[in-house]
Amino acid sequence: MNRSEVAYPTPVPVWPGLGAWNLYFILKFALLWAGYLNLQVWPNLVFAAALLLPLPYRYLRYLRTFIAIPVGVALFYQDTWLPPFSRLLDQPGVLNFSGAYVVELAGRFIDWNLCALLAVLVVIYAFARHWLRLTTLSVLGLAWLASVNVLALHARSEPAATSTSDAPVAAASSAEPDSATLEAYLQKFYSTEAGRQVEFMPSTSAAQPFDLLLINICSMAWDDLEAVGLRDNALFQQMDVIFDSFNSATAYSGPAAIRLLRASCGQVPHMQLYGTAPPQCMLMADLSKLGFASEVMLNHTGQFEGFLDEVRAQGSLPGPAVNTSKLPRALVGFDGSPILRDSQVLDTWWKHREAGTNERVALFYNTTTLHDGNRALTPDGGTKSADYKPRAQGLIDDLSGFIKQLESTGRRVVVVIVPEHGAALHGDRMQISGMREIPSRSITHVPVGIKLVGMGRNANSAPLHIAEPSSFLALSEIISRLYTAQPQGDGQGPDWPALLSNLPQTAAVSENAGTVVVDYAGKPYVRIKEKGGWLPYPQRFK
């Protein structure tokens, strides 16, 4: 027989194990159990099947491993709670972060408890792989998760009943909170909100003129104040009205400011914030028709991500009323820009106001004193990390002192404290401390207070509390009512029951670009991607 006639056996495919990929899946199971992952079962099953598929030639197996590594990394990223990568590409402002802030953010991603857990799992894997068929355990684990998903889909296959009520605060039905039900709930909410509006009517019998100060604070939520022991503070103790359940509806500054400046209409989806709003929705335009001159002040440059240009364009605002470039900086922003002390900026504006001749002024004041990553100045001209609590205490003191300054002038002023969003001092299983991609309740539940200065005595020794779920529409309604309120004799304050009764209520729905959080039947649910599925929001770390 010739050499050329020798028949070589065809390689027989052998079903391989997952090998080191078992550690990949075991780590995912552990992270899923701990609440760190939202494991997508079917993509992981397909990935495991591709790894298990027998291939006859070694070079094909090498090629599969070469392809599997980046696919596995991408799939792991998809299984985390991190925002879609496209969202990160839409944030060019991160390139302007200072080096110190980037290092600080990187350090927050390290969870030493989690690192210890993963190290233990690696040791267990290295020992157990010699004694157990880990591939069988990995496949059975994925199969079990898949069966749970199938059973859940089958249980939810019946059409969900949705509420047909036109109430502003959509009442949660008894339907199972699956994706279809929650999506219908969200669309019903926006449909209802689209028909809501506060009207500002001229009144010849209105009370004496007053100034309106909208103090928009970046990074202050009830959760933050409680975390640093400042929930009960001098600023809010002297308010006449406190909203206990106010929802800022977003976790980022630009959208939050736009929502405030469009407070005369119901809450709209995030995508509509950057379109042309109906004129009747513009709070400053409504006030302008009643004789208020609109003014703007900031304690920062307003240049990061074009904040000032954005709110001016979307909120019908003028440029800053007073040049503050000669004021000394009090902090250095996360992007290296100067941040001024609030008391100095407000004092500068008030001198400008007293020298003016306008009968009524409506001021939009924005402060970033509490923004994440701000740094304190050092005597040698450098900077150092600035803790949240001293900055919050300083802001509280500055605003309290400014209110006392207003009281000493005898002028009539309505001061509205309305934060944009929280600082996210507490991290949770979905995002690290300081990260606000997902507008969770701890970030959007903000302290809102109203103080009437020079407008009569307040018979209440403590603030009046509004417990109902509220948002910007309620603020607009109060401002409208204050304008038309009848004058009270002998230094009396306003008719509080008439001022605060039957205010518009707004359900807790918060939205960033591509991410929505709703409160349904008392529990939070999140949709991370547009047209994606809804998930229960994980419990926060204890």
Say whether both 272 and 144 belong to one domain: no
393 in the same domain as 295: yes
Last residue of a domain, one of 155, 172, 207: 155
Mean pLDDT, all residues of the chain = 85
Q: Are residues 102 and 43 in the same domain?
A: yes
Q: What is the Cα–Cα distance from 30 to 32, expressed in whole angstroms?
A: 5
Query: Do residue 146 and residue 200 come from a single domain?
Result: no
Mean pLDDT for 163-186 is 66
Phi, psi of 325 (to 5 degrees): -65, -20
Half-sphere exposure of 66 (CA within 13 A, CB side): 6
Q: What is the CATH number of the domain that holds 327?
A: 3.40.720.10
User: Is residue 3, in this structure, part of any structural domain at all?
Assistant: no
Distance CA 493, CA 307 (A): 37
Give residue-wise pLDDT tens across range 303-318. Answer: 887 899 998 988 889 9
Q: How far apart are the first and last CA of the chain?
A: 78
Other Cβ atoms less than 10 A from the Cβ of 90: the count is 12
Look at residue 86 and tell me whether its pLDDT is greater than 70.
Answer: no
pLDDT at 10: 55
Q: Which residues pair with 297 in a beta bridge?
A: 365
Residue 502 token pair? 């039957």
Judgement on whether residues 75 and 220 belong to the same structural domain of the protein: no
| Confidence (pLDDT) at 426 | 83
Which band of pLDDT confidence, cut at 50, 70 and 90, is reported for residue 202? confident
Is residue 287 located within the same domain as residue 341?
Answer: yes
Same-domain pairing of 407 and 325: yes
What per-residue string of b and e applies to 334-373 under the rule 16 or more CB within 10 Å gives b?
Answer: bbebbbbbbbebbbbbbeebeeeeeebbbbbbbbbbbbbb
- Whether 359 is in a domain gets the answer yes
Q: Which of 486, 468, 475, 414 is nearest to 198 (CA)?
A: 475
- Residue 489: band (very low, low, confident or very high) from pLDDT cuts 50, 70, 90: low
Instruction: Verify that 302 and 235 share a domain, yes or no.
Output: yes
> Whole-prediction pTM value?
0.82
Amino acid symbol at 52: L
> Does the residue 533 lie in any domain?
no
**What is the total count of domains within the chain?**
2
**pLDDT confidence of 458, banded at 50, 70, 90?**
low
Q: Are residues 448 and 302 in the same domain?
A: yes
From residue 392, alpha-carbon distances to 131, 370, 457, 463 in Å are 57, 6, 29, 21
Comparing 173 with 231, the larger pLDDT belongs to 231
**Within a domain: residue 419?**
yes
More confident call, 116 vs 262? 262
Residues 34 and 129 in one domain: yes
- Do residues 259 and 270 make contact, with C-beta atoms less than 8 angstroms apart? no
Question: CA dist 472 to 77, 161, 257, Å?
Answer: 36, 30, 11
Residue 361 is assigned to a structural domain of this protein: yes
Q: How far apart are CA 358 and CA 211, in angstroms?
A: 10
Q: Is 210 helix (H, G, I), strand (E, B) or coil?
A: coil
**Residue 377 belongs to what domain range?**
194-428+435-506
Q: What is the pLDDT of residues 53-78, one digit of tens each?
A: 888 888 888 898 999 999 999 898 88
pLDDT > 70 fraction of the chain, expressed in percent and rounded: 83
Check whether residue 131 and residue 233 sit in a common domain.
no
Residue 347 lies in a domain: yes
pLDDT: is 59 or 517 the higher one? Answer: 517
Which range has the worst mean pLDDT, 105-114, 174-183, 489-498? 105-114
Q: Report pLDDT for 153.
A: 52
460 assigned to some structural domain: yes
- Residues 336 and 342: their CA atoms lie apart, in Å, by 18
Task: Based on the fold, state whether residues 151 and 209 are members of the same structural domain.
Answer: no
In a domain, 377, yes or no: yes
Q: Distance between CA 248 and CA 447 in Å, rounded?
A: 10
